[in-house]
Structures are given as structure tokens and as C-alpha cells.
Homo-oligomer: A and B are copies of this chain.
């Protein structure tokens, strides 16, 4: 399929019953839907929820995202209103490997480049909120009377970049004016606890409370020190205010998509924001959503934990098993996965 033409995002919104005045546009083809919309719709019954997960992941990719997009488009073709909800791509992997997280083939979402780059700034906001807490922590270590053990600080810094030179660093050097020396490191923003919290929070109040409970360090007496102790959670919530609103885009068949939040599945729960899924359940008959990594990791986490926090039930599960992935687990090398090999699959 060549040159897919996106429709104005207001058109997509209207199909969902959202008036243009309720959308916050970011260019012509992207809009945020204020999460407060959930309140208006709270008495509307939820649609059905289909979870897409997969067998053990492989370097070749198993196709969860394309399956999710395609499945949702299929529902729409069948006349069943469906929204697919997906995670936001990290900039880091985007710059490293061609592709990003916008699907492939005939199962893509638009506008691809914008989604893969800065999008609506959610990940920038997560990064800023994360690093504000880091800066306030180092300022407290230097100036406040809070008892913080500089060797027991567990809150890293964050950057939306694959930058191995920042994994393990020493900060606070350069003499007395520059803070207190200590070991530190950057995580990629998708691995930030702020990202995980953003994707679990029900509303701004819940967000702020969850932020305040982040443990950032331990005192010399081994007591935990939280973001709340440093009075950082309020300013962090201000920085995350807009990022709470789900991002609406469309597939190449102009069906609606929420792309919102992107925590990693290995260290967090690996699925898009609870708010986006909840809103989608109010706005359509069937919501297709995806959990990162394999069924035993992202899938389990979704069923055991995310669905409970979100207050929704999973009505169906799709488990993606590709021939390539079967071959890979059967011992075939990555660059030979395209060759037919029945033995490896058995």
C-alpha cells in the first residue's frame, strides 16, 4: 500500500463522538484527548478488551504490534467499532534501529515520523519530571539537613537516548560549588519509574500521590527517603500534566489509535497507559491492546496487575507465534530465519 492519506484528526475524533473543541491538536493529524473525558463517560458501559501477547521474544520480532493494528482494522472493516491502544516509541531505539513502533506493511499507524520523533512531548515530559527529582535530590544532599547517605541513592537520572557512556557515571565533581560527589547513572526514559507511574495513574491526584511515594535514597540510618520528603512531587506533576492526556492518531485505514505511554516490559509493566485503555473502552466496542515481551512477562503482568489497577477485564487473548520465532528458538541463526526449515520448528 502506497502513500496512505491520513484524515484530519478532528474527523477521527468525530467518529468517536469527540467534538473538535474537546481535542487538543498537535499539528493536523495528532491530538490529545483530555483524560477528564473519562468522567463524562463514566456511566457508559465498557467495550470488550483483547490482549495481544506473544511467545518468547526474538531479535526478529514476533509481530505483536502489526497483529494488534491489523486486528483492530479488521474489526472496523467488519463494522465493529474498535480502537487499538499502543505504547509510545522511545527516541533511543528509533535513532538506533530503523522502524520504530508504528507497525509495518499494511498494518501501520500515521503520521509515522512524528510519532517516532517528538510526538506530543510525553517522553520529554517524563524525562524532565524524572530529572527534576534528581536535581532536587542532589540539591538536598548538598544544602538540606535531610540525612541522605550518598552511597545509598537509588534514583538515577534519565535520558531518552541509548547512551552507554552515561550508564555509570560520577557526578558532583569540580569542587565545593558543584554538589556532592557520588556514583550515578542514566536510564533510558522508558525505564524511568515516572513512566511507569504515568501509565498507572488514574488522574492527576493519583499521579501526584504515586510520585510522592517514589523511594529515591536511604538515610544513614537506613530509612527510605521519598520524593515526597523532598517536596518534589508537586512540581513533577505540573510537568506531567499534559502528558496525562492520551494521544489520538489513526491507522492507514483511518481507524482510531491511542498511542500513550511507553514503559519497558522487563523492568516495568510494558503496556500503554491505563487511562488510554480505559478511555478506549468507553469510546469503542472492542479495544485491542498489546503487552510487551512474551506472554510470561508482559502478558502475565497485564493480567495479574495492570488490569486490576485499571479496573478492566480481558475478554480475549491473542498469542502471536511466528515461524521465524519458532525457528530462532529451534536454534536457527538470525540471518537464516527467512529460509524454510521444518526441522527447526518441530
Q: Could you list which residues of chain A lie within 8 angstroms of chain B, going by C-beta atoms?
A: 24-28, 91, 95, 117-118, 121, 124-125, 128, 131-132, 134-135, 138-139, 142, 149-152, 157, 159-185, 235, 238-239, 242
Contact = CB atoms under 8 A, between A and B. Distances in A.
Nearest to A135: B163
Contact of A24 (B27, B138, B164): B27
Q: Is the interface of A mostly helix, strand, loop or mixed?
A: mixed
17 contacts: A118-B124, A128-B160, A128-B161, A131-B163, A135-B166, A139-B165, A142-B164, A150-B181, A151-B179, A165-B179, A165-B184, A168-B172, A170-B173, A173-B183, A174-B185, A175-B183, A181-B182
A164 B149 contact: no
Nearest to A141: B165
A114 to B, nearest CB: 8
A274 to B, nearest CB: 22
Contact of A179 (B25, B118, B164, B180): B164
Contacts of A124: 118, 121, 124, 128
A138 to B, nearest CB: 4
Contacts of A168: 172-175, 178
Given A118-B125, A124-B118, A169-B170, A177 B163 contact: no
Contacts of A132: 95, 161
A172 B175 CA distance: 16
A115 to B, nearest CB: 13
B177 A164 contact: yes
Contacts of A95: 132, 235
B165 A180 contact: yes
B161 A135 contact: yes
Nearest to A238: B117
A166 B159 contact: no
Contacts of A139: 164-165
B165 A138 contact: yes
Contacts of A117: 238-239, 242
A166 to B, nearest CB: 6
